[in-house]
Structure 1
Amino acid sequence: MPSAQEIVQSFEELRTIPHIALRVCQLISHEETTIRQIEETIQLDPVLVSRILRMVNSAYYGLRKPIASLPKAIIFLGLKNLRNLVVIDALRGVFLREQSNGTFSRKQLWIHCTAVGVCARMIARRLLGRTGEDTFLAGILHDIGLIVEDQTHEALFREVIERYRAGTGLLIEYEQELLGTDHCAVGEALAARWGFPEAVQQAILHHHTAIEHEAELQQMPAVLQIAHHIANTAGYQAFSEKTDPPLGIIVDHIQQQAVEYQALTEAFCKEMEKAARLYEDEGI
């Protein structure tokens, strides 16, 4: 059976993700990179320049005066937010490219991933006092391994989903049985290849790992699991027919802070309505 790294290598050989987008993400991950280097790299792809400007000037950001130049857009966004928009732009085309085999809906999975990212960032900001941009990235990418598996091992992946829907086990259990790995490990390997922060890699790897202590609830993997549960409850499931049950410690934690999470959930639903065009519309 192939390793997670071998599956990622096969995925990269398909050239699914634009090279310039990957290069921009890698540059941003290095502290010595200059704004000028990032700007020059983005300018190699005029379509990406146009999309960044359209996203910055979208209703989501609500600017009174439009931003007309890439340098100003970069300064306005900040590097981590820019990185996240580049990732969104690159992945949106992959997720929204529906498969004809009827295994699952890539669009539904993309909406689920963006919902988890948005909710995770809100938890980081509102409840943990963090900026949340790395947490958002981890949320956006947490299920990217499913797309990689579908792209590289379509027949086996289809069987994984069929068994998952018909059975009582967890998704990762069927993945490990048929593929020898799971989307958590594949996603972590891909995030490492793309040069994303170690914390993001580990959050992707452990977003289905059991949580044993309350102290872990403030760490990024647990934040993803909390966001995952809230997103699912709000109707943003990855699969319509079935979803893995949340850990008991996650449910207890939310119940213990019911007032805070009720307010956060209401704000999250409004944020998803506001962000829908930014995350879902290919034509933006």
Structure 2
Amino acid sequence: MLKSKVDEVLQDVNKLPAISSVVSKVLEKLQKPDVEIADLAQEISKDPAITANVIKLSNSAYYRASKPIRTVQEALMTLGIKTVKEIVLLTAAKGILAQDLNSYQLEAAQLWTSSLLVAELSSKIVQHKKLKIDKDLAFTSGLLCSVGKIVLAQFFSPVMMQIKTDLKDNQEPFSTLEKKYFGYTHMEVSENLLKRWNFPPELTDVVANYLTPETSKVNPLLTSVVHLASILIVVSGIGIDIGGESVPISPFALSQTGVTDADIETYFVHIPDLQAGLADLLNV
């Protein structure tokens, strides 16, 4: 088992994926109910790359602003704090997720596309089933589920042949093999990363439990939504990694969300439309 080596990486901040300090401070400010738009705009504007993407995406067809947006403050005023937060996190996530994961047999474009589709479908499920969840929160939760794979991917080489043998003889979820060989599942690593980045507990809980929503302690309904979205995107053939389609849909998630077989068929039919609608975000 490579657990001790994974531990070393998890304890060395210099070896972990990092997000801009501006993103951390923005998230911190957003947890305060009395946050001021001017303060947020000033904080976001400290990072030129994030500022550029906020303005670019605010003017995109995806967000459909009612008027041209020229500054971060205008974006906040026109689209709202929640939407600009989503754009900030999109920019941060692209910087981390847009890389090849050869060990997981995922190219950068596949990983980013599947992450965005899980995010978008999570948001659509919330709206379609009229669930008491903020659709922006659902989007962000879905976006970050695979981030732990970035860390674990570097440890595959010594045990790749054993993993491939196990995959042939074993029908268990691939996360079981992650745990066997690395001492961690990618969900546990994702949880570790989001805690280091000072993300809110709801998001941390989702990434830690999205494959087993019945274990969610903070928001089982939100975790169930992301669970369904992630499974459906993989089954549709997008973002299939080395683990294949080994995770079944959780009955708990279906019960929590009220999603039916007919709903699932509808979501499948509309996945190509979702992907087409994400064109602006795919090129962040």
Other-structure match for 2:50: 48
> What is the CA-CA distance between 1:146 and the residue it aligns to?
0.6
Q: Residue 151 of structure 2 corresponds to which residue in structure 1? A: 148
Q: Which residue of 1 aligns with 2:212?
A: 209
Cα distance change on mapping 1:174 and 1:11 into 2, 3 Å:
farther
Which residue in 1 is equivalent to 2:266? 263
2: CA distance between counterparts of 1:81 and 1:207? Answer: 23
Aligned to 1:116: 118
User: 1:120–1:136: 8 Å Cα contact kept in structure 2?
Assistant: yes
Distance 2:5 2:77 in 1: 40
Structure 2: tracts of 5 or more residues without a match: none
Q: What is the root-mean-square deviation of aligned Cα atoms in Å?
A: 3.4
Distance in 2, Cα, partners of 1:87 & 1:251: 26
After superposition, the Cα gap between the structure-2 partners of 1:29 and 1:109, relative to the gap in structure 1 and judged at 3 Å, is: same
* 2: CA distance, partners of 1:101 / 1:161: 11
Equivalent of residue 173 in structure 2, options 165, 170, 174: 170
Q: 1:181 to 1:245 in 2, by over 3 A?
A: closer
TM-score by length of 1: 0.81
Aligned length: 277
Q: 1:228 to 1:250 in 2, by over 3 A?
A: farther
Match of 2:246 in 1: 244
Kept in 1, the 8 Å contact 2:206–2:223? The answer is yes
How far apart, CA to CA, are the structure 2 residues paired with 1:29 and 1:193? Answer: 16
Q: Distance in 2 between matches of 1:26 and 1:5?
A: 27
Is residue 150–residue 157 contact of structure 1 (8 Å, CA) maintained in 2?
no
Maintained 8 Å contact 1:3/1:181: no
Instruction: Give how far 1:181 is off.
Output: 1.2
Q: Tell me by how many angstroms 1:95 deviates.
A: 2.1
| Contact map agreement 2:103 2:153 (CA 8 A) in 1 | no
Counterpart in the other structure of 1:134: 137
CA distance in 2, matches of 1:26, 1:255: 33
TM-score, scaled relative to structure 2: 0.81
The percent of aligned pairs where both chains have the same amino acid is 20
Measure the CA separation in 2 of the matches of 1:234 and 1:157: 29
Superposition deviation, residue 70 in structure 1: 1.1
